[in-house]
Structure formats: structure tokens, C-alpha cells
Amino acid sequence: MGLRVSTVGLYRSATRRVMENVSKLQDAQEGLGSGKKIRSAGDNPAAFGRIVSYKSLQRALDQYQRNISSGRGYLDQAESSLKSVANLLARARELAMQGASDGTNPESLAAIAAEVGTIQDEILSLANASWSGGSGSGSRYLFSGYRSDTPAFSEAGIYQGDESEFKVEIAPGDWTAIGLSGRRVFQGDGDVFSVLADLKKSLEEGDQSGTQATLDGLDRCVSGVSGVLSEIGARTNRLDQSEVRLEDMSISLKSFISQEEDLDIVQAASQLTLSQSILEASIRSSQAIFDTLQIL
């Protein structure tokens, strides 16, 4: 400043210095209070832009995780249904073996046929299983393709759905098929319903060679269902892998966000203490000047 110090000038400069230090102290306090070094776009526009962009990406990753959960819900339900179907088909094959062997008497044949009938009903019911998934609102048939409001199979074993496999986005740009159509599952290599119907008819009619003939069909059904179960395993695997990758991306994102946004608490705390000391010093020095001037 100039060579001459006026009275007002003295007070003003002392006041200004003190107020500046108060403001710095407040800034340090706000930082510590929020734990963030960037609190608004004006603090550092480019960094804030990055933070906003990262957080948006985080929301997208969270959604993909939700999509994966929803897909997994379907696959778990389908797998459980099909495992039961596989067990029932194995049992049906046993029954067919029994029925095709020599010396089975008509009463036994009738009993076997009745059990096959029960198996037919159970498999039909499993084929027409539904799931609620997502919000739990509404229920949909598992194996009807897009026609999720129609049971997959009629009583007569006619497929009523379509061939589509619905997709879900499990990673950016990665739409993966989740749904399974009943036609593929139950009428792939072998048609489960017609084979079982044939078996029951042969048993009821005591047609030993007819019963024998169904064994081949049953084998094909069993291997068909087993194939679908592998496919479910593969799909579940894809979901798991995507989940892991998303998790990793999430962790990286969190660290990027933290780097841009978070305050170094230790450094900030010591800065706060420093600001306090500076403020104290400026107040004391102002007082000293005024006290000395009182002498005049």
C-alpha cells in the first residue's frame, strides 16, 4: 500500500484480513461437514461434469444388475420345473420298461397305465407353470414364448404359445435370450405329450410291442429335456459372468467418483486447524496495532 496509512485505512485493512480468514475458515468447515471437495458445478466444472456422468453410468449398471436378477428369476423357475419333468420322464421310462416286459399281467398293466396318466397330468401342469418375476405383479406362463397369458399346452398336448425367446439387456448393448418356448422344450427331438399318450394307450390295450416302441421316443424326450437344462445352465452362466463384470465396473466407478469428489479428511482437518490459527493471529495483530495507537 502507499507510504501513508490513514486511520480508516488501518481499520479497513485489518477488517478485510480478518473477514477473509473467517471466510476461509467457513469454507474449510463446509468441506469437512460434507466430506466433499467439490460441492457444486462452479467449484470445478469439468470435474463436476465427470462426476455427474459417472453417477449416471452407475445408475445404468444398477439397472443391468436388476435385469440380470429378473432373468435369473425366470431361469431358476424354468430349471426347477424341468428337473421335475426329467424325473417324471425317467419314471415313465421305468414304467414303459415294466410294461414292455413279458409276463406282466393285465391288472399290473392297468396300474402302470394309471400311473402314466398321473405323470401326463403332472408334466402338463409343469409345462403350464407360471412365474411372477419382477415386481410380482401379474403372472405369466413360463413356456409360452411371447404369448405369456396363454397356457403353453392344451389338455391334448397342442402347443398354444409362440417360438419366441424374450430377451433382457444384461450389459450395455448385450441383449441375451432368456425365455424358452414350450415347443422347443417339450416337442423338440421327441414330443413328450404324444409319446406319453402313446405309452398310456399301448399299456391300456396290452400292446406289448407298442409299449416297447415308446422307449425310443422316451429316450429322445429325456435327452431333449436334458439338453434344455444344459442351455439353462449356460444362460445362467452368462448372467453370472456379466454380473461379475458389472460389479467390477461398479467398483472402478466408485473409486473414480471418490477420487474426484471426496475430500482428503486428514489434509482438510489440518487445513482447518491452520485456518483457525491464521484467523487468531490476524485478530491479535489487529488488536495490537490499535492498542499501540491508543498511546497517542
Kindly list the residues in this chain that would bind other proteins in the complex (CB under 8 A).
1-9, 12-13, 16, 40-46, 48-49, 52-53, 55-56, 59-60, 63, 66-67, 70-71, 133-138, 140, 144-149, 162, 164, 166-169, 172-173, 175, 179, 293, 296
Side chain identity at 156, as an amino acid letter? A
Least separation in angstroms between residue 34's CB and other proteins is: 12
215: left (phi over 0), alpha (psi -120 to 50) or beta: alpha
Nearest to 96 by CA among 85, 109, 83: 109
Nearest-angstrom CA–CA distance, 61 and 236: 18
Residue whose CB is less far from other proteins, 110 or 158: 158
Least separation in angstroms between residue 191's CB and other proteins is: 23
Least separation in angstroms between residue 156's CB and other proteins is: 22
CB 173 within 8 A of CB 109: no
Residues facing 127 on adjacent strands: none
Nearest to 222 by CA among 196, 179, 190: 190
Residue whose CB is less far from other proteins, 43 or 155: 43
Residue whose CB is less far from other proteins, 144 or 214: 144
Nearest-angstrom CA–CA distance, 170 and 63: 9
Calculated CA dihedral for residues 158, 161, 162, 168, nearest 10 degrees: -140
Residue whose CB is less far from other proteins, 48 or 208: 48
Angle between helices 7-34 and 265-293 (to 10 degrees): 160
Least separation in angstroms between residue 198's CB and other proteins is: 31
**Grid cell of 181 as nine digits:** 418356448
Give residues with Cβ within 8 angstroms of 233, minimum separation 6. 79
Residue whose CB is less far from other proteins, 148 or 282: 148
Least separation in angstroms between residue 199's CB and other proteins is: 32
Least separation in angstroms between residue 168's CB and other proteins is: 6
Q: Which helix (H) or strand (E) holds 33?
A: helix 7-34
Least separation in angstroms between residue 293's CB and other proteins is: 7
Q: Output Rg (C-alpha) for the chain, integer angstroms.
A: 38
Residue whose CB is less far from other proteins, 114 or 293: 293
Give residues with Cβ within 8 angstroms of 273, minimum separation 6. none
Residue whose CB is less far from other proteins, 113 or 180: 180
Residue whose CB is less far from other proteins, 5 or 281: 5
Least separation in angstroms between residue 5's CB and other proteins is: 6
